[in-house]
Amino acid sequence: MLAHPLIRPVEARDVPAVVALVTEVLAEFDLAFGDGSATDAQLFGLPGAYTSAGGAFWVAEAEDGALVGTIGAYPVRDEVTVELRKMYVLPSTRGTGLGQRLFDVLVAWARERGVARVVLDTTEQMKGAIRFYERNGFARDDAFISGSRCSRGYVLAL
């Protein structure tokens, strides 16, 4: 069931499940949803909170309809940079390639739009995510820390 979840653009009906998924993953790292993070609050306005700014947000939906992953692209700083936001996969899906599939969708979307770089920030607690980002070519650059709970910034040239 989890090997091939459908990756699709988020819909307004997905908001409760997206918030639940993000809350669950954050709790795994002793972080709280809505702890002052403006990007958490944006989830309640999906899909428009991303699409109206020229971004995109996707979910991974299992065969039973449950959401098992998320990823967003949000334009920042200039017309050639997007921020990777809210890349979360449930623990039960880790190691299945789902995170890579979500990331590949974002990169393809970015390249189609002439995006030159992807930036992100994360926290030290998310060691698996840090390894994933570095394995996918991201370089450490703390100039891109934008979140209040984040301590590491990264940039990827496309």
pLDDT of amino acid 124: 85
The amino acid that residue 53 corresponds to is A
What is the pTM (predicted TM-score) of this model? 0.91
The CATH number of the structural domain formed by 6-157 is 3.40.630.30
The amino acid that residue 50 corresponds to is Y
Which helix (H) or strand (E) segment holds residue 57: the answer is: strand 56-61
Q: Does the pLDDT at position 1 exceed 50? A: no
How far apart are alpha carbons 68 and 131 in whole angstroms?
A: 20
pLDDT of amino acid 24: 93
The string of pLDDT tens digits covering residues 104-114 is: 999 999 999 99
Q: Provide the residue ranges of all domains of the chain, joining segments of one domain with +.
A: 6-157
pLDDT of amino acid 38: 62
Q: What mean pLDDT value characterizes the chain?
A: 89
The string of pLDDT tens digits covering residues 127-141 is: 989 999 999 999 999
The answer to whether residues 152 and 143 touch, using CB atoms and an 8 Å cutoff, is no
Residues 6+ apart with CB under 8 A from 84: 71, 72, 73, 103, 106, 118, 119, 120
Task: Name the 3-class secondary structure at 140.
Answer: strand
The string of pLDDT tens digits covering residues 26-57 is: 889 888 776 656 667 788 889 999 999 999 99
